[in-house]
């Protein structure tokens, strides 16, 4: 069995987590063991088969087992209930495992636990407080326990390509940041791993970014729908926009018009991208964050209404968020 220093655990092999873990195992030194954990046994078996020959891959049942065997645990979880179960459960959670690991360790252990999902700020801060309380109960001269929020940007395509950006709730001067960056560099671009400040700041950066991205997706879809209905060529219109003031990530990297960009979800039936339900979720999180800090907003209400309506229609449900272009093009104008 590999030592905790040579073991990394990854929990959550979903749409984003699976390719993230693939890149991690593929780029890690073969002397490292990767522990994996997911609620789906089929996904776990598929991952093991795909990674055969890439280096040791072992399965753990929960966060408790993961943190007892690895000095770094990375999770990519979908929502608050999952985060609370994985981190805070008194019998199977990561923090319970960290206490058990510290009590049985024969040498000092420095544990780093990282959540990469886009989770509500309040939940991240709850886990941070619980981690701090747990850390204070350990022997401070021999064990440390640090929780970091490090949400990602780049979507499934970025996860597959290993080009994700990370917004890390950690100061650049923190001694653990180089360790975190070294491991996350296997999953994303090193130059796009940003130390954002104290715990929770990574999440705030991510929610702010996603707020803009969601509204931009709708705005770009509206503009391109206008042009197509006029009779403009959408590829030429996209080229003009991308050479002009309307250029944005959506028009240049994930164009909502089918056929304009062959690798965009729109050209694959809006499959494999950032699901409209998740886009609606992060937009709401941005609106809630604005309310928390007293920031005036104008566009969040109408945009939320649009994503709500589109996601209720079975034709668009579960599709990439840029399917709002199709929803717009197939809808009648309302005065």
Please provide the DSSP assignment of 49-114 as one string: HHTTTSS-EEE-SSHHHHHHH-SEEEE--SSHHHHHHHHH-TTTSHHHHHHHHHHH-SS-EEEEEE
The pair of structure tokens assigned to 158 is 């970025």
The answer to whether 179 touches 167, Cβ cutoff 8 Å, is no
Backbone angles phi, psi at 54, to 5 degrees: -90, -10
Tracing tokens 């969601």 back to the chain, one arrives at 214
CA separation for the pair 265, 321 (Å, rounded): 9
Backbone angles phi, psi at 283, to 5 degrees: -65, -40
Q: Is 294 left (phi over 0), alpha (psi -120 to 50) or beta?
A: left
CA separation for the pair 204, 282 (Å, rounded): 11
CA separation for the pair 145, 62 (Å, rounded): 18
The DSSP bridge pattern shows strands 72-75 and 109-115 to be: parallel
CA count, 13 A, side-chain hemisphere, 247: 8
Closest residue by Cα to residue 116 from 82, 70, 152, 80: 152
CA separation for the pair 324, 216 (Å, rounded): 11
Q: Give me the numbers of helices (H) and strands (E) for the chain, helices first please.
A: 14, 9
Q: Which residues are catalytic?
A: 206
């Amino acid at each position: 069995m590999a030592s905790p220093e040579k073991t990394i655990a990854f929990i959550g092999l979903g749409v984003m987590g699976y390719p993230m873990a693939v890149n991690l195992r593929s780029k890690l030194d073969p002397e490292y063991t990767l522990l994996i954990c997911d609620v789906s046994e089929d996904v776990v078996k598929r991952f093991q088969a795909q990674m055969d020959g890439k280096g040791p891959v072992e399965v753990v049942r929960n966060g408790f087992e993961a943190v007892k065997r690895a000095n770094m645990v990375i999770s990519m979880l979908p929502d608050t209930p999952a985060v609370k179960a994985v981190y805070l459960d008194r019998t199977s959670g990561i923090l319970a495992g960290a206490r058990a690991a510290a009590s049985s360790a024969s040498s000092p252990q420095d544990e780093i636990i990282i959540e990469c999902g886009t989770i509500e700020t309040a939940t991240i801060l709850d886990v941070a407080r619980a981690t701090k309380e747990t850390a204070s109960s350990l022997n401070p001269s021999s064990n440390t326990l640090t929780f970091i929020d490090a949400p990602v940007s780049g979507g499934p395509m970025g996860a597959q390509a290993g080009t994700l950006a990370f917004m890390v709730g950690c100061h650049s001067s923190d001694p653990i940041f180089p360790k975190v960056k070294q491991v996350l560099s296997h999953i994303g671009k090193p130059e796009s791993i940003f130390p954002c400040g104290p715990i929770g700041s990574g999440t705030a950066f991510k929610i702010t970014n996603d707020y803009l991205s969601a509204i931009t997706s709708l705005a770009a879809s509206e503009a391109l729908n206008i042009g197509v209905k006029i009779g403009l060529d959408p590829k030429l219109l996209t080229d003009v926009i991308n050479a002009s003031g309307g250029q944005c990530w959506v028009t240049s990297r994930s164009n909502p018009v089918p056929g304009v960009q062959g690798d965009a979800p729109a050209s694959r039936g809006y499959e494999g991208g950032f699901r409209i339900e998740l886009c609606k979720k992060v937009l709401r999180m941005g609106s809630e964050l604005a309310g928390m800090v007293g920031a005036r907003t104008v566009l969040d209400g109408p945009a939320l209404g649009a994503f709500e309506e589109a996601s209720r229609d079975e034709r668009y449900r579960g599709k990439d968020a840029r399917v709002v272009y199709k929803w717009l093009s197939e809808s009648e104008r309302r005065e």
